[in-house]
Amino acid sequence: MIVRPKLHWLRMLFVWRGSVVVRILPQLCTLVLIAGVVVLAKRFYPAYVPDLTPVPFTLLGIALAIFLSFRNSVSYERFWEARKLWGAVLVETRALTRQLLSASDASDTQQRQFVHSLIAFVYALRAQLRQQDAASLLQPLVRPLLWPELSRARFKPALVVRDLSLQLAELRRAKQLEPILFASMDQQLSQLAACLGGCERIASTPVPFAYAVILHRTVYLYSFLLPLGLVATLGVMTPLIVAFVAYTFLAIEALAEELQEPFGTEANDLALDAMTEVIESSLKEMLGEQVNPAPAVPDNCIVT
């Protein structure tokens, strides 16, 4: 995720890092080159360049803009839902920690283990969504009896939630947790499991491939044919206008493709590393443990 101060409008025009220009630059250069060839062919070999009017391109461009806007809305909805789910993880883990520390008779060791297991859940969730290995981070946090099973598991966050529920049940049987508080905390664990399921749903259910393909083909066919519809009226200005129009359509498509997978490590994806660090630091502060100071975020920084 890009973190930078608000820029002056003029400087905003030339922002490079974090934009999608890098991804679509080869396509833009190719389109400008084709438009230049069409301009030269129209001038020296007019018989080989068909006379097309810009009217069909205007109508198709309007329809294409509407469909791309819808695609972008769908992708951003997935991105924002993922952000809300991680916000809910922060809220529920803080609430569980607060209730355990303030309203239970658990020992310091039991409290620390429960909070560390919550942190392990966050690490395991991030690792599963990004298909990473978090064994070195999880082993010091979870209970030793859980680790042999957890190390072999495919869905590690689900096992950590189960172990958190077992820890609450042990406190309840030892009468260190009141029944009403146990029911409340168990409900919040269910909310954590719901957040896990929501993240898995987003990660495992991409935008339908056929829908993405038809928009992709339409955008590129429109962009490649556009010089033929503009060269008769714009002449040598055709490559510039083609570059501007193609940039708009290609950039929106590239951004939608990037946003539809919000758990990655690209510039516009969710900053899962930073959010994990916030949750861990917050829970450790509530537990009374020492927390490393928050790293300074410089200008023009991409936070993962």
pLDDT in tens, 127-183: 999 999 988 999 999 999 999 999 999 999 999 999 999 999 999 999 999 999 999
Helix (H, G, I), strand (E, B) or coil at 60: helix
Cβ within 8 Å of residue 240, ≥6 positions away: none
Rounded CA-CA distance 156/280 in Å is: 18
CA–CA dist 303, 289 (Å, integer): 25
pLDDT at 300: 44
- Nearby residues of 122 by Cβ (< 8 Å), 6 or more positions away: 89, 93, 276, 279, 280
Within 8 A by CB and 6+ apart from 221, the residues are none
Q: Determine the Cα–Cα distance for residues 79 and 48; give it in Å rounded to an integer.
A: 47
Q: Note the pLDDT tens digit of each residue in 182-238.
A: 999 999 999 999 999 999 999 998 888 888 888 888 899 988 888 988 888 888 898
Average pLDDT of the residues of the chain: 87
Backbone φ and ψ of 265, nearest 5°: -120, 20
| pTM of the complete model | 0.85
The pLDDT value recorded for residue 5 is 58
Question: Could you tell me the pLDDT band of residue 10, with boundaries at 50, 70 and 90?
Answer: low
Between CA 162 and CA 156 the distance in angstroms is 10
Instruction: State the helix-helix crossing angle for 238-259 and 209-234, rounded to 10 degrees.
Output: 170
Average pLDDT over residues 114-126: 96
